[in-house]
Amino acid sequence: MSPYVLAAATAGVVIVFLHAIKSHRSRKLPPSPWSLPLVGHLYRLGGLAHRSLHELQTRYGGGLLFLQLGRRPTLVVSTAAAAADLLKHHDLAFASRPHSVAGDKLMYGCSSVSFAPYGDKWRRAKKIAVVHLLSQRRVESFAAVRAAEAAALVALAHRAAAAGEAVDLRESLYGYTNALFTRAATGAAGATAEKLRQMMGNSVALLVGFQPEDVLPDAPARLVRWATGLEKKLDHEAQAWDRFLSELVAAHQEKKKPDRAGGDDEDFLDVLLRLKEEGGGDGQGLTEGGIKAIIKDMIASAIETSYTLEWTMAELVANPRVMTKLQDEIARAAADYRQPVIISESHLNKMGYLKAVLKEVLRLHPPAPLLVPHESTAPAAVQGYEIPAGTALFINAWAIGRDPVAWDVPGEFRPERFVGGGAATVDFKGTDYQLIPFGAGRRICPGISFAMSAVEVALVGLLQHFDWELPAGMRLADLDMGEAPGLVAPLRVPLVLVPKSKTTTLAEAQLQ
C-alpha cells in the first residue's frame, strides 16, 4: 500500500476515534473495558468473538457491554434478561442493519431481506418472504423434494457403509441442504446447484467478518478496498452472480405456463416473478435486482441449516445415551406407521424427543452465535443506560443459551430439560428470550419452519438407517466440540463419522 494511502487512512481513523471517545464520555453508557486507539475494542474479539464477549461480560457483570469496534459504537447483549428487555421494549429502535459495502455490491444495493436497512423496502421484502415463500403451506409444498434429497443422502451413507468408509458430514450435509434449497429456490439441481454452492462460498468469504468501512471513514475505506484489490473482487463476484441469476430468470420466464400461476408446484423464483408481474399488492416495487437478492438470501441459508445438522450429529455421537433414545423414538414411529425410506413429515411432528434434541443443540450451538448485527436508528434507554442512535447491536445468542440464571446446568447436553422439565414450554420461535438462535422481534429469521423441516427429515433418515461411530483409532475424548472462527460457526474440525447400516442396503430399506 502506498504511504499516502496509509497516512490518509490513519488520519481518518484518529479523527473518528477521538470523536467516539468524546461522545462516549458525555453519556451514561454500559460498562466498557479499556481499549486501544484506532481499533478500539476490536483487538479483544479474537477468532471466537462470541466466547471473548462472553468472557468480558462475566468479568464486568450485568447483561450489557458497550464497545467501540473500530469505527462502530456497539452494544453487546449477553444475558436472557437483557435480551428480553431490549427485544421487548426497544426492538423498533434496533431494527436496522449496519451499512455494508459488500452487501451493497453483492445484494443489489442491500435489497435482500437480511441486508436491507429498516424501512419500507425491507418491510415489503420481509412480507414476501414470510407470506409467499416460507409460509407453512409453501414449506409443506416442498415435502417431496425434501424426501428425495434426504433419500439421496441416505443412499450416499449406504454406499459408504457398504464400502466400510467414513462420511465427511460437513461436506455431505451441506451438499444435501444446498441441493434442497437450490431446488426450492430455482427448481434447478445437479450442476446448477453445484455452481451456486461454489459461488456462495466465494460471496460468504467477502460478506462476513469486519470490513474496511467498519474501521475507517468512507474515503480511506474506499482507498483501502481499491489498494487491496477487494473492490475488484467484489465487482467481479457481483457480475458473475448477476450473469448466472439472469440466466435462471430468463429460463423461468420462458418455461412459465399460464395454468401454473399460484400453484403449489411453484419454486421461489416462480413466485417472485409472478408477484412482480402482478405489479400491485405484495409485489409492489419488486425489481429484478430485488428478486435476485432474495433468491441469494434463501440459498445462503443452506449453510446455517447444514451446520445445525452437523452439530446435532456431533452431540449425538458425544452422547450415546441420547442417540439411542432418539433412535428408539424413530424406530417406534417407523414400525407403527410402516414408513418408507424417509418417514413422512406428519409423523415427525409427533416426535417429542426429536424436537427436544434439536432445541438443546440450538441452545448450545446457535450457528450464528451473535445473530446478524443490528443497528439503532433512534436513541434508546436500555436498562438505565442511554444508547445513542447509530449504535450497532450484537446479541450473543451463544452466551444467552448458557446463561446460568436462565438455565439449570447450562453446560450439560440434556434434551430432557425440554420434556416435562422446567423448560418444557420453551421454544425458539422468538418469545422465549433465553433461546433465540433465530433471533426475535422484527428481524427474526423467517425460515424457521423451512430450516427445521430440512433438518428433521435428514436427521431421522440418518438415524433410522444407521448407527454412527467415530473413525477407527479415534476416542470420544478426541472429538473437538469447539467452533471455527467467524460470524457463522460450524465445528472447528469437520465431522467425519462411520455409518453402520441397520437396514443392509437401500433396496432392502425400500422394501420394509
Show binding-site residues. Answer: 445
How far is residue 356's CA from residue 418's CA, in Å, rounded to a whole number?
Answer: 5
Neighbouring residues of 49: CB distance < 8 A, sequence distance ≥ 6: 369, 370, 394, 487
From the CB of residue 417, how many other CB atoms can be counted at a distance below 10 Å? 21
Q: Is 437 in the site for ligand HEM (CB under 6 A)?
A: yes
- Binding-site positions for heme: 445
Does 187 contact ligand HEM by CB under 6 A?
no
Q: How far is the CB of 126 from ligand HEM (least distance, A)?
A: 5
Phi first, then psi, for residue 380 (nearest 5°) are -140, 140
Helices 448-465 and 143-163 pack at an angle, to 10 degrees, of 30
Residue 345 and residue 454: Cα distance in Å, rounded? Answer: 10
Handedness of CA 173, 179, 180, 185 (dihedral sign): positive
The span from the CA of 251 to the CA of 220, in Å, is 42
What is the DSSP track for 85-153? HHHHHSTTTT-B----HHHHHHTTTT-STTTPPSSHHHHHHHHIIIIIISSHHHHHHTHHHHHHHHHHH
Q: Is 372 an interacting residue with respect to ligand HEM (CB under 6 A)? A: yes
- Closer CB to ligand HEM, 42 or 133, in the complex: 133
* Among 16, 348, 451, 457, contact with ligand HEM (rule: CB under 6 A): 451
Q: Which of residues 35-64 bind ligand HEM (CB under 6 A)?
A: none
Q: Pick the stretch among 37-45, 146-154, 271-279, 366-374 that binds ligand HEM (CB under 6 A).
A: 366-374
Q: Residue 318 contacts by C-beta under 8 Å, 6 or more apart in sequence?
A: 413, 476, 479, 481
Q: 192: how many CB neighbours lie within 10 A of its CB?
A: 18
**3-class SS shares of the chain: helix, strand, coil, % to 5:** 55, 10, 35
- Using rule CB under 6 A, residue 103 touches ligand HEM: no
CB of 447 to ligand HEM, least distance (A): 2
DSSP state of 382: E
Identified binder of ligand HEM from the candidate list 32, 68, 78, 305, rule CB under 6 A: 305
Q: Across the chain, how many H-helices and E-strands are there?
A: 21, 9
Using the contact rule CB under 6 A, the part of the chain among 228-236, 294-302, 318-326, 383-391 near ligand HEM is 294-302
The residue within the footprint of ligand HEM, chosen from 273, 443, 465, 491 (CB under 6 A), is: 443
Least distance (Å) from ligand HEM to the CB of residue 395?
A: 6
Answer for which of 40, 70, 283, 367 binds ligand HEM (CB under 6 A) is: 367
Residue number with CB closer to ligand HEM (6 or 208) = 208
Which position among 212, 369, 439, 490 is part of the footprint of ligand HEM (CB under 6 A)?
Answer: 439
Q: Which three cell numbers stand for residue 170?
A: 460437513
Among 214, 297, 456, 483, binds ligand HEM (CB under 6 A): 297
**Closer residue to ligand HEM (CB): 124 or 158:** 124
Nearer to ligand HEM, 146 or 374 (CB): 374
Kindly write out the interface string for residues 109-128 of this chain, putting x where it contacts ligand HEM by CB under 6 A and - elsewhere.
----xx-----------x--
**Binding segment for ligand HEM among 233-241, 270-278, 347-355, 442-450 (CB under 6 A)?**
442-450
The minimum distance between CB 312 and ligand HEM, in angstroms, equals 10
* Amino acid at residue number 78: S
Going by the DSSP 8-state scheme, the letter that residue 488 receives in this structure is: S
Pick one of 364, 368, 460, 463: the residue that binds ligand HEM (CB under 6 A): 368
Q: Under a CB-based contact definition with an 8 Å cutoff, are residues 116 and 122 in contact?
A: yes
Closest CB 175 distance from ligand HEM, rounded Å: 16
Asked whether position 301 contacts ligand HEM by CB under 6 A, the answer is yes
The alpha helices in 256-371, defined as continuous H runs, are: 268-278, 288-300, 302-318, 320-337, 345-348, 352-364
Instruction: Give the nearest residue (CB) to ligand HEM.
Output: 447
Q: Give the separation between CA 92 and CA 377, rounded to whole angstroms.
A: 8
Q: Judged by CB, which is closer to ligand HEM: 413, or 438?
A: 438
> Residue 387 forms beta bridges with which residues?
380
Between 48 and 371, name the residue whose CB sits nearer to ligand HEM: 371
Nearest approach, Cβ of residue 229 and ligand HEM (Å): 29
- Judged by CB under 6 A, does residue 129 bind ligand HEM? yes
User: Is 312 among the residues that bind ligand HEM (CB under 6 A)?
Assistant: no
Minimum gap (Å) between residue 22 Cβ and ligand HEM = 30
Q: Candidates 234-242, 299-307, 341-349, 492-500 — which segment interacts with ligand HEM by CB under 6 A?
A: 299-307
Shortest distance in whole angstroms from residue 125 CB to ligand HEM: 8
Q: Which of 17, 311, 450, 466 binds ligand HEM (CB under 6 A)?
A: 450
CA dihedral over 222, 223, 224, 230, signed as positive or negative: positive
- Sign, CA dihedral 219-223-226-229, equals negative
* Total number of residues that touch ligand HEM (CB under 6 A): 26
Distance of alpha carbon 182 from alpha carbon 175, whole angstroms: 10
Instruction: Identify the burial level of 481 via C-beta atoms within 10 angstroms of its C-beta, where 0-12 means exposed, 13-18 middle and 19 or more buried.
Output: middle
- Residues near ligand HEM, by CB under 6 A: 113-114, 126, 129, 134, 297-298, 301, 304-305, 308, 367-368, 371-372, 374, 437-439, 443-447, 450-451
